[in-house]
Amino acid sequence: MSMKKGRFGQYGGQFVPETVMPSLMELETEYLRLRETAAFQQELARYMTEYVGRPSRLYYAANLTRFYGRGKIFLKREDLLHTGAHKINNAIGQILLAKHMGKTRIVAETGAGQHGVASATVAALFGFPCVVYMGREDVERQALNVFRMKLLGAEVVPVTSGCGTLKDATSEAIRDWVTHIRDTHYIIGSVVGPHPYPMIVRDFQSVIGGEVRRQLQELCGCRPDYIVACVGGGSNAMGIFHPFRDQPGVKMIGVEAAGKGLDTPEHAATLTHGRPGVLHGAYSYLLQDDDGQVTPPYSVSAGLDYPGVGPEHSFFKDKGIVTYTAVTDDEALAAFRRLARTEGIIPALESAHALAYLEELMPGTKADDVIVVCLSGRGDKDVQMVSGIMEGLQCHA
């Protein structure tokens, strides 16, 4: 399975019904053509700057650095972008693709709701009808984002099949896409799915890492020693890692959701605990049982609650280009509060997983090490749920 198109080593591929193959081929051809045109790049750059708000700031977190007493911690502030997360980078790129391909309708899946909001936003901007599939359980735990999507004119369809989370929302979005394949573009939200999606989403998200490289050069004339990002499907991580993949001096760590602990069945640590298989069109690491049935993942963070992972991450894992690890709900919640208290920044629960890893990383760093954490999204969407958890724990924020 190694020498074919759309592969990262043995991972990736196009495991989809025949009905959608012609659309994937068209998407690939159109994307590769448009990518090389100056007009498309200029159009994309204009939206990224004027609408999305790029470049995002690279913020030196002096208080957090002081808290750990070593290194220099920088936060890549994707949370400050329009709609509050990195998801908009990909959504804006893909809506431009959809427009150029003459598509007239958008479908998307969403977990935490950040990608759903980003898709609904760009659909509103470009005047496309938009349907967002969201697991029933996520509709409940991310009520604020559901309201935002509706306000933006999108139809939000709660998905009750399977376990009612991101995996099932993705399956349902694919079913809609297969049904309306001729006029509909599927804005997949992460570096997952069949080729060419993992490549396209990676390319649109790589703006994150490209900016980090430039910004660090300007700020301190240095490059990062460590880059830390959370991994669900893995789009913010791929976006910040990819531009550094050929620099062995840069140690990259992807942080998955260990949920209630890796020694329990309730986690979403696909790369840490899964094994390769096919889900949603790609061959990649997967949480599954011996028979190949996908096992329900769990994380307090809806955006990380996915049993698969982008195929290029599987490749990076096997090649040792990135180290993957996992932190628990409790560790992420502690990091969520820590950043709020030290820096006055409320991170998304997803991003809090990356921040939580600093507890393990920082004691082993040198005084002048430069650490960049991808703050992939803001935590407004999570405060209601976290407040519920803290009350449940009789904990006082």
Partner 1 sequence: MSRLTSRFSRLKEENRKGLIVYITAGCPDFATTLRAVRAAEAMGADIIELGIPFSDPMADGPVIQKAAVLALQAGATSRKVLELVGLIRRETDIPVLAMTYVNTILQYGVAGFARDFGAAGMDGVIVPDLPAEEADILEGYRQAGIDVIQFIAPTTAPERIAANCRLASGFIYCISNTGVTGVREVDYREIGRLLDSARRHTPVPLALGFGIGDARAAQAAAQYADAVIVGSAVMDKLMTEGLDGMSRLVAEIRRGLDEGA
Catalytic residues: 87, 109, 376
Assess contact for 102 and 127: CB atoms under 8 A.
Answer: no
If one asks whether residue 19 binds partner 1 (CB under 8 A), the answer comes out as yes
If one asks whether residue 281 binds partner 1 (CB under 8 A), the answer comes out as yes
If one asks whether residue 290 binds partner 1 (CB under 8 A), the answer comes out as yes
Least gap, CB of 305 to partner 1 (angstroms): 15
Near partner 1 by CB under 8 A: residue from 61, 95, 166, 174: 174
If one asks whether residue 286 binds partner 1 (CB under 8 A), the answer comes out as yes
If one asks whether residue 277 binds partner 1 (CB under 8 A), the answer comes out as yes
Near partner 1 by CB under 8 A: residue from 65, 83, 119, 171: 171
Going 9 to 10 to 12 to 14, the CA torsion angle's sign is positive
SS3 391: helix
If one asks whether residue 284 binds partner 1 (CB under 8 A), the answer comes out as no
If one asks whether residue 161 binds partner 1 (CB under 8 A), the answer comes out as yes
* C-alpha to C-alpha distance for 335 and 342, rounded to whole angstroms: 10
Amino acid at 332: A
The runs of H, that is alpha helices, within the chain are 21-35, 38-47, 62-68, 87-100, 114-126, 136-141, 143-151, 166-179, 197-205, 207-220, 235-241, 270-273, 311-319, 329-343, 349-356, 358-361, 383-392
Task: Rank residues 21 and 395 by Cβ distance to partner 1 and give the closer one.
Answer: 21
If one asks whether residue 387 binds partner 1 (CB under 8 A), the answer comes out as no
Near partner 1 by CB under 8 A: residue from 70, 82, 136, 180: 180
Assess contact for 201 and 86: CB atoms under 8 A.
Answer: no
Near partner 1 by CB under 8 A: residue from 37, 292, 341, 364: 292
If one asks whether residue 106 binds partner 1 (CB under 8 A), the answer comes out as no
Cis peptide before 194 (omega within 30 of 0): no
The residues of the shown chain that bind partner 1, judged by CB under 8 A, are 1, 4-5, 13-23, 161-162, 167-168, 171, 174-175, 178-182, 276-281, 283, 286, 288, 290-294
